[in-house]
Structure 1
Amino acid sequence: MAARVLALSGIPWHHELVWESLVWGAVAASSLLLGTLLAIARRWPPRLLGVVLGFGAGALIASVSLDLVAGGYQEAGALAVAAGLSLGALAYYGANRAVDRWTARSGGNAAGAPLALGALLDGIPEQAVLGIGLAAGGGVSVALLVAIFVSNLPESIGSSADMLAAGRRRNRVIGLWMLVTAVCAAATVAGFAVADVIGAAAQAGVNGFAAGALLVMLTNSMIPEAREKAGNLSGLAAVVGFAVAAALMLLD
């Protein structure tokens, strides 16, 4: 994906900033694979897993409200963000229904799949924002980088733990998250490559798309699962996650 975009944009693959964007993209996305390894390394009690998911939900809510939606609005106004929100929400909803139908036909279950799908659908545009910022000459946003890293962990831990509990083989779970990690890292390079050829409205739409996919995933999967596993404690964990992510973004 990234190589094709680079070719279309006319940017040589050996350009210094191309490699820099790839490195930063890999750093941000690496927490997806780290979360998988943490889920494999130990058995996560349901209550602890619910707290982790609640923390991640709070961090993602902060990312949606303070970074993706607010940043898109400042970039191009409400209309572009609203269009992106709608497309992102519909994309996640449609993809999740497809996953549910596939698992039903195969006689399995969708354990962990909604969180993995959410990580992919929000991770691609979210990390593209990193590349766009780098191409604009402002350098990488440390706050966004850390917020992506922190919020990715609960998604991958929760999804991987559910998959393993459902009997999925470890190598398949690792392989899935390696693929998601690689695609998200490549999205940073793609964002860098297209930054000069897309307008402010399209960039705001990218922000909105990530926010829309996140909001549907949070409402349908992450928050209900956190509540089911940790009860009322999940709400407190969400507030802590929101506070940590918000502090990181507001300090940038």
Structure 2
Amino acid sequence: MLEALLWGAVAASSLIVGAVAGVLRDWNARLVGLVLGFGAGALVASISFELAETGFRLGGAVAVAVGLAAGAIVFYIADRAIDRKEASNASGLSLLLGALLDGIPEQAVLGIGIADGHGVSLALLVAIFVSNLPEAIGSATDMRSARRSTGWILLTWTAIAILCAAATIVGYQLQEIAGAQWRGGINGFAAGALLVMLVGSMIPEATQKAGEKAGLAAVLGFAVAAGLSFAA
């Protein structure tokens, strides 16, 4: 469990790094888009080679299919609620909530993999770390523009990072007590939630900010994460 907490903290630390970067200076939108593209490609590789493949092996097609549907629906409903909040709130709070919503299933899967005896997934770790950065940078920048204090911004993002790191422990415990089908379903749930997030927000935002170069960054991210996955 200590190992799961350690790696969960490493992955979540990029939220704090991004928040610090956001309050210190303004960032070029194209650079943020390229980082988003890289993170999206890395997450696609992690979903394919870490979540779906492992889920099918553990629980079979039915468990993964049920998990995929559940994860997609839960994320979609929660994301719609965030979108409605965003329409009346331009202070960056919606991005903060989105980071929490994305981070919980991502980091739970880290704990699941560690409890399964395969150690930390470097591919998923890199994908989470990179994809967290632009969300935190963008939200912290918006909060600063809304005249939130630096201390409040950093404290809030630290709390989000702690909650995301705690999700790693939850994943670890679930994997310890759940049977093979439940474990496959958990992997499917995380994959479904992440796929909806990727198609609905992360990839469109990357393309909006970086144009067609976002696709090149995504391929690079996919290649790096896939290489790390196979190397492990």
Normalised to the residue count of structure 2, the TM-score between the two structures is: 0.86
Asked whether the 8 Å contact 1:118–1:214 carries over to 2, the reply is no
Aligned positions of 1:155-170 closer than 5 A: 155-161=135-141, 163-164=142-143, 167=146, 169=148, 170=150
Per-residue Cα deviation, 1:39-64 (whole angstroms, up to 9, x for no partner): 22331111222111111111111121
Aligned positions of 1:81-160 closer than 5 A: 81-104=64-87, 107-109=88-90, 111=92, 113=94, 116-160=96-140
1:243 to 220, 223, 231: 223
Per-residue Cα deviation, 1:165-195 (whole angstroms, up to 9, x for no partner): 7626244443342222111211222222232
Partner SS state of residue 26, structure 2: coil
Partner of 1:29: 12
Asked whether the 8 Å contact 2:23–2:144 carries over to 1, the reply is no
2:180 to 200, 203, 215: 200
Is residue 215 of structure 1 aligned with residue 198 of structure 2?
no
Asked whether the 8 Å contact 2:32–2:209 carries over to 1, the reply is yes
Asked whether the 8 Å contact 1:51–1:230 carries over to 2, the reply is yes
Partner of 1:178: 158
Aligned residue type for 2:72: A
Unaligned runs of 5+ in 2: none
Higher helix proportion (structure 1 or 2) = 2
Asked whether the 8 Å contact 2:116–2:175 carries over to 1, the reply is yes
Identity of aligned residues (%): 56
Asked whether the 8 Å contact 2:14–2:130 carries over to 1, the reply is yes
Asked whether the 8 Å contact 1:26–1:185 carries over to 2, the reply is yes
Shift in Å, 1:103: 4.1
Shift in Å, 1:112: 6.8
Aligned residues: 231
In 2 relative to 1, CA 168–76 (structure 1 residues): closer, same or farther, beyond 3 Å? farther
Partner of 1:9: none
Per-residue Cα deviation, 1:24-48 (whole angstroms, up to 9, x for no partner): 2111221222122222233111122
State the superposition RMSD in angstroms.
2.4
CA distance in 1, matches of 2:92, 2:20: 17
Asked whether the 8 Å contact 2:33–2:207 carries over to 1, the reply is yes
Unaligned runs of 5+ in 1: 1-17
Partner of 1:228: 208
Mean Cα displacement is larger for which, 163-172 or 124-133? 163-172
